[in-house]
Amino acid sequence: MSPNALIPSHRKPRRSASSRALRAGVTGGFLTLAVAGATVPANAADKPVAETQELPTITTALTADLAESADTAQQVAESYERQAAQDKAVSSAAKAAKKDKAEAEQKAAEAKKKAAEAKKKAAEAVQARASRSADRTSLTGGDSSGSGSTDSTPSTGATGSTATLLSFLRAQVGKAYVMGATGPSAYDCSGLTQAAFRQIGIELPRVSQSQSTAGTQVGLSNLQVGDILYWGGAGSAYHVGVYVGNGNFIGAQNSSTGVVERPLSYDQPTGAVRVL
C-alpha cells in the first residue's frame, strides 16, 4: 500500500450520485431533479417515485406541432384540389362556349347564303314574269278584252316563252283526242295544256280540276295570251284550254273534233287562271 493512501487529502474525490444522475439525464434527453437531499445514493434509480420526479418531455409539444402541420398541409392540398377542379370546369366551359359560337356562326352563314339564294331566285322570277308580260303585250298588240277578231294569226313580234307556248299549241292542232292521253300523237284537254306549259318550264297538275286553280284567277274580260281557260267551277272544272289571243283558244275538245283552235263564242268558258 502506498504511504499516501491513508492520507485523506490524497484520495480521489467520489462523485455524488446526484451529479451522475444529472449528467445521465441530460444525455438521455430529459432532466431529473433530486428531491431527497444534496446527495443521492447509487441506488437512486430504485427509490420510490416520491423521491424523484421527471420534467414533462418535449415530445408532447412536438407531437402537437406535427399534428397541426399535418392539418395545415391537408387544408392546403384540399385548397389546391378545389382550385384545380374550378380551373378544369372553367376550361371545359370555355371550350363548350367556343364550340357553340363556331356552330352558331356556321348556321348564320348558311342562313345568310340561303337568304341570298332566295333573293336571287325571287329577282329572277320577277324578271322572267316581266319578260313574259312584255311578250304577251307584243303578241296581242294590246288586245286583252277576250273579244274581237276571230283571225287565228296573232300580231307579229311574239318572242320568248309565250311564242314557244303558242308555237307548240298550234303544232298540235288536228291531232286526235283520246281520254287520258298526254301526247305526242293524241291528247285529252288537260294533257294538252300540261304538255304545252312544260315546253316553257312550267309544270301543271295533271287534271282539269287542279289546273283550274293552279294560278291567279282572272276575269274573262281581262284575258292575256297564255291564260288557262276552264269550263265548270274553279276546282271542279271538267274541261280546259289555252287562250291564244284575238278572242281564240286552242284545246283538245272531244273525240269528234280532236285538237282545235276556236273563238270563245264557240264554247264560252266559265273562268280563267294566269300562270305566266
pLDDT in tens, 250-271: 999 999 999 999 999 999 999 9
Higher pLDDT, 149 or 37: 37
pLDDT over 70 at 54, yes or no: no
Query: Residue 79: its pLDDT value, please?
Result: 83
Query: Residue 113: its pLDDT value, please?
Result: 86
pLDDT over 90 at 224, yes or no: yes
Most confident of 28-42, 63-77, 130-144: 63-77
Write the pLDDT tens digit of every residue in 79-92. Answer: 888 888 888 888 88
Supply 224's cell numbers: 292575256
Spatial distance between the Cα atoms of 237 and 228, rounded to a whole number of angstroms? 12
Query: Residue 16: its pLDDT value, please?
Result: 53
Q: What is the mean pLDDT of the chain?
A: 77
Q: Residue 130: which of 140, 122, 119 has the closest Cα? A: 122
Rounded mean pLDDT, 34-51 = 48
Higher pLDDT, 87 or 62: 87
pLDDT over 80 at 211, yes or no: yes
Contact (CB, 8 A) for 192 and 168: no
Query: Residue 145: its pLDDT value, please?
Result: 39
Give the residue carrying C-alpha cell 428531491.
35
Query: Residue 130: its pLDDT value, please?
Result: 57
pLDDT over 50 at 118, yes or no: yes
- Which residues on adjacent β-strands are paired with residue 258? 254
Write the pLDDT tens digit of every residue in 159-202. Answer: 579 999 999 999 999 999 999 999 999 999 999 999 999 999 99
% of the chain exceeding 90 in pLDDT: 41
All domains of the chain in start order, with CATH: 15-57 (no CATH), 97-276 (3.90.1720.10)
Count other Cβ atoms within 10 Å, centred on residue 195: 19
Query: Residue 53: its pLDDT value, please?
Result: 53
Rounded mean pLDDT, 96-116 = 87
Higher pLDDT, 24 or 223: 223
Q: Is the pTM of this model over 0.85?
A: no
164 burial (CB, 10 Å; 0-12 / 13-18 / 19+) is middle
